[in-house]
Amino acid sequence: MKRLMMGLCLGLGLLWGAAAWAQGEAANDGAAAAPAAALVQEAPASPATPAEPAAAPAESAAPAVTVNKGDVAWMMTSTLLVIMMVIPGLALFYGGLVRSKNMLSVLMQVLMVFSLITVLWALYGYSLAFGGEGAIIGSLDKVFLKGVTTASLADTFTENVKIPELIFVAFQATFAGITCALIVGSFAERIKFGAVLLFSAIWFTFSYLPIAHMVWGPGGYLLGKGALDFAGGTVVHINAAMAGLVGAYMLGKRIGYGREAMPPHSLTLTMVGASLLWVGWFGFNAGSNLESTAGATLAFLNTLLATAAAVLAWSIGEALHKGKASMLGAASGAVAGLVAITPACGSVGPMGALVIGLVAGFLCLWGVTGLKKMLGADDSLDVFGVHGVGGIVGALLTGVFAAPTLGGTGAEDFSIASQLLVQAEGIVITMVWSTVVAAVAYKIVDMVMGLRVSEEEEREGLDITYHGESAYNR
């Protein structure tokens, strides 16, 4: 416990150091325009009284700012749906895939990581991601949610239509939380509980926040380049997948990996978790529209179609390769489709979504079979094979099917070749950034408290050794 406390203290020191660095970085850059979702402002002042002179002719007056109750209700609903994706969706999906002796450890790691990141988001994460106008990171203007009140508003994608900033903070907190929780699947069954928490805090600060700001934040570098990422293909999935892959390498393979059978202990729970992920993902994708409008319905339909197509593609590919289509494969296909459509859901047409889902289903199947063997890492629950490959596929195909000639929402002068270059740049930056930050973070945690459990603890199972309880009574 003493070592854990020392580690957490060191982690907090690193976090505050990151905040100080962000303050200086934000001061150097502020030229690029902010996205519609990122800017916040105070509620408009009361209109002039009849005794005051008119400031300008009526025809040139700025339209009044409006806050629609339907938009507010939709954003609160979407936030709840994303929370359901994590707890219990992701937790049960991952929990069913591990051996029964590690079931509770995975549930606990997902729950605790999500809770930790939610708190850090309110303390400084929101400010660094969406405050200021730096190219790489935001500012400390909103640290401890300073200035975020019931009167402050956040922009949407429609001019002069706003939502309360408080719900925007909550919605984005769930994105940060699920991103860090996704990484748990890569090193499941062999990492120390305290190491998971300390790593998550460091990686969140130095990788998630800069990538989120570059893609979505005011003045962000990739936003300024025109990168399309409607709901988090790079920010969430590629970002988390790279951190997970690095972790799989640095922790090493599980005892008996490749020699002993390690089948999922409950595909029933995995199916329940995948189903909750699919339902919750409608909040993840359609909620990213920030308004209850036709744009949200496009993202909603695309999420449905791409996921269904990926389920079919994965199952067909599995049947052709192995002779049988498995329940695990169908559930994994659903997640692959959800991942791939995430960056594209608000920018492509329904037929484009179908193609993205089909391609993702086949390629992610290869990602967890052929590619996994090539990489040689024990990525326990195939985080890179599904989220990494699916995220890359989705990000690239967004640059293709956003073209208006293919049913997308791009401008008339949309260039597929130019957009693909921008999308590729975003992918490469995310992969390199997350890899470097993850490697350093794992090394720091290893030096402070160690990463991997002992051989005896691993053989007995982390439920008993780290939490003193079992998932099932015998």
DSSP 51-87: TSPPSS-GGGSPPPPEE-HHHHHHHHHHHHHHHHIII
Which pLDDT does position 74 carry in this prediction?
98
Q: Averaged in consecutive runs of 10 residues, what is the pLDDT profile of the chain (474 residues)?
A: 43 43 38 38 38 46 87 98 97 98 98 98 98 95 97 95 98 98 98 98 98 97 98 98 98 96 96 98 98 98 98 98 96 98 98 98 98 97 98 98 97 96 98 98 98 97 97 86
Under 8 Å between Cβ of 200 and 437:
no
Cα 399 from chain centre: 20
Under 8 Å between Cβ of 68 and 291:
yes
Alpha carbon distance 358, 361 (integer Å):
5
Which pLDDT does position 193 carry in this prediction?
98
Under 8 Å between Cβ of 426 and 222:
yes
Alpha carbon distance 306, 340 (integer Å):
8
Which pLDDT does position 63 carry in this prediction?
77
Does the pTM exceed 0.95? Answer: no
Pick the CATH number of 69-467 from 1.20.120.530, 2.60.40.2130, 2.60.40.10, 1.10.3430.10: 1.10.3430.10
Which pLDDT does position 473 carry in this prediction?
85
Q: What share of the chain is helix, strand, coil (3-state, %, to 5)?
A: 70, 5, 30
Which pLDDT does position 60 carry in this prediction?
54
Contacting residues for 40 by C-beta, under 8 A, at least 6 apart: 130, 148, 152, 153, 154, 155, 165, 168
Tokens 């005794």 correspond to 51
Which pLDDT does position 53 carry in this prediction?
43
Under 8 Å between Cβ of 431 and 238:
yes
**Angle value at C-alpha 128, between 169 and 199, nearest 5 degrees:** 95
Distances from the Cα of 239 to the Cα of 226, 326, 364, angstroms: 19, 29, 17
Positive/negative CA dihedral, 179, 182, 186, 187:
positive
Phi, psi of 292 (to 5 degrees): -90, 75
Using left for φ > 0, alpha for ψ between -120 and 50, and beta otherwise, residue 379 falls in beta
Distances from the Cα of 419 to the Cα of 2, 34, 265, 345, angstroms: 51, 19, 44, 16
On the CB side of 331, CA atoms within 13 Å amount to 25
Contacting residues for 125 by C-beta, under 8 A, at least 6 apart: 117, 173, 176, 204, 205, 208, 209
Domain boundaries, given as residue ranges, for the chain = 69-467
Alpha carbon distance 461, 419 (integer Å):
48
